[in-house]
Chain A
Amino acid sequence: MAAIQVKPTRMELSNLKKRKKVAVRGHKMMKDKRDELVRRFIEYARKNQSLRAEVEEKLSRAMKSFVLARASMSNAEIEEALLYPARAAEITAGTQHVLSIQVPQIAIQAQEGFTYPYGFATTSADLDLSVQLLAELLPLLVQLAEIEKTCGRLADEIEKTRRRVNALEYVMIPQFTEAIRRIQMKLEENERGNLTRLMKTKEMLQQQKEG
């Protein structure tokens, strides 16, 4: 592994030791974050799956009866009936935080006393059914939007966090360890060199004295 190139000094050694400590702590926290993210993600993903199945099934039913309605009414009649909504859907959108990731929070005000946006004279019963089904489905659709977006955001964040964890674990920390070891060995070697030099000098001085 390509270790970081540093001068073998005590200063660098203490710097590296500090950096390694930070990296190890960061790695531990990232790992905890990743585990918690995955746990929550799986919760959301399961909810997402069941909700989507439900929405698709109900929506298909609404669409089917709408197709029937189209067949039994003229284009102009249908558009006249539908183009003006009974009331605009009241939606409030905010953000909530899941482990400091911003995710959407969408709520729809319950429409009390559902009314059809048209009179019954020119419309078929199929149209009534499809509009009613869709109105019932609306809160679910909004919930699906919220959960699906949350799922996507969490998946992205998990991927990022996992990369960081791996980079710390397999690159940064081993590099620091290796560099610290190299500096320590170099320092010890210098120390030994110094010691032998001292012993040698002492011996030479002694010989001079005797001789």
Chain B
Amino acid sequence: MAKIGVIGDRDSVLLFQAVGLDVFFEDDGERANRTLHRLAREGYAAVFVTEKLYPACAETIAEYEGQPYPAIIPIPDNQGSQGLGEKKLRQNVEKAVGMDILASKNETGKSR
């Protein structure tokens, strides 16, 4: 039985407690990184991290990139989305295909 964790500041992630996910309150990037590392070791299947804390966790994220678990996913917090997830997807596409095919599709769509 796998678990899903959520890391973020209290105001943003308290809500996730109501639907039965394991919530960890962290305001500081350094401590969030440590918590994330612990969760990854404890076998969480997925960990959602708020976009504010996501950049501070880069070290742990890079460490677990080569393994199927855990999936570490940025989510917007209560101040709305900063487009971090979108940016990460773009980076992946660029890495894989060599150019940003998703962006060009959108822009041509907009210009029409």
Which residues does A use to contact B, with CB under 8 Å? Answer: 37-38, 41-42, 45-46, 48-49, 52-53, 55-56, 59-60, 62-64, 66-67, 70, 78-79, 81-83, 85-93, 95, 102-104, 106, 116-117, 130-131, 134-135, 138, 141-142, 144-146, 148-149, 151-156, 158-159
The CA-CA distance from A116 to B15 in the complex, in Å, is: 12
Instruction: Please give, as numbers and ranges, the residues of chain B lying within 8 Å of A144 by CB-CB distance.
Output: 73
Instruction: Please give, as numbers and ranges, the residues of chain B lying within 8 Å of A93 by CB-CB distance.
Output: 2, 45, 69
Given known contacts A45-B93, A82-B17, A154-B96, A59 and B4 CB-to-CB distance under 8 angstroms: no
B86 adjacent to A49 (CB under 8 Å): yes
Instruction: Please give, as numbers and ranges, the residues of chain A lying within 8 Å of B65 by CB-CB distance.
Output: 152, 156
Q: Which residue of chain A lies nearest to B15 when distances are taken between CB atoms in the complex? A: A66
Q: Which residue of chain A lies nearest to B94 when distances are taken between CB atoms in the complex? A: A155
B64-82 at interface with A (beta carbon < 8 Å): 65-66, 68-69, 71, 73, 75-78, 80-81
Q: Which residue of chain B lies nearest to A144 when distances are taken between CB atoms in the complex? A: B73
Contact of B85 among A56, A102, A134 (CB under 8 A): A56
A85 adjacent to B71 (CB under 8 Å): no
B1-50 at interface with A (beta carbon < 8 Å): 1-4, 11-12, 14-21, 45-46, 48
Instruction: Please give, as numbers and ranges, the residues of chain B lying within 8 Å of A134 by CB-CB distance.
Output: 15-16, 18-19
Q: Which residue of chain B lies nearest to A46 when distances are taken between CB atoms in the complex? A: B102
